[in-house]
Structure 1
């Protein structure tokens, strides 16, 4: 893999490894934001648990996804991409935080790009 592609792959790998881990851990502290605000009232009413508890479950999933990007990059990048699309669709469906939904869709494309880069380079650089 040429040097520029390797640099791009590594930047994306660290981005989509670290960001989900940080965001996932923050679901327990709410230092960055109050994550429960992103749950629509209708969806919150359907949850069998408190929105803050639900967000902690989400946090665990995000931490695992970030670790997966570091350990099994191709699979982890697909997981993160799908997760970001799911979040964006949820926000679009409730028509709240549409700006965040658009940002998450762009990030999903970048995570998908990491997965594709990892597919084409797995024999040359490792997963």
Structure 2
């Protein structure tokens, strides 16, 4: 049976690496054309959408590193970030499948935070 530490470590790596990879891809668009996810909201951004997505990429890279270094705080940051992305997609009226996926991932990030709390409490 997996221990709390094993589960926490698996989620920590997942929520550390995935945001870093997604953030880096904002500079290359190898996985997808990230600007498309802005939908009709492109006109609300006061500068070039590609520049905006690169800024998003930097935030995601920092969030991933934060999860790896400070998993409790990082997990909450990633959870909030994923919820915001899902809400933006829902409001934009497109990519509902991605919005649902991001909400499920936010639940996973919350789970990481709770497991990290349990692991920390167990070490006292």
Q: TM-score, normalised by structure 1?
A: 0.92
Q: Distance in 1 between matches of 2:63 and 2:32?
A: 20
- The Cα of 1:125 is off from its aligned counterpart by 5.4
Matches of 1:3 and 1:90 in 2, distance apart?
Answer: 36
In structure 1, the gaps of 5 or more residues are: none
The answer to whether residue 100 in structure 2 is matched with residue 102 in structure 1 is: yes
Contact 2:63 / 2:74 at 8 angstroms: preserved in 1? yes
| Runs (5+) with no aligned partner, structure 2 | none
Counterparts of 1:52 and 1:122, CA distance in 2: 40
Distance 1:118 1:44 in 2: 37
CA RMSD of aligned residues (A): 1.5
Cα offset, 1:46, TM superposition: 1.2
Matched with 1:46 is 44
SS at structure 2 position matched to 1:96: coil
* Residue pair 2:19, 2:63 contacting (<8 A) in 1 also: yes
1: CA distance, partners of 2:51 / 2:82: 20
> Which aligned segments of 4 or more residues in structure 1 are displaced greater than 3 angstroms?
123-126
Which one of the candidate residues 84, 87, 93 is aligned to 1:89? 87
Alignment of 1:1-127 (within 5 A): 3-41=2-40, 43-124=41-122
After TM superposition, the score normalised by the length of structure 2 is: 0.95
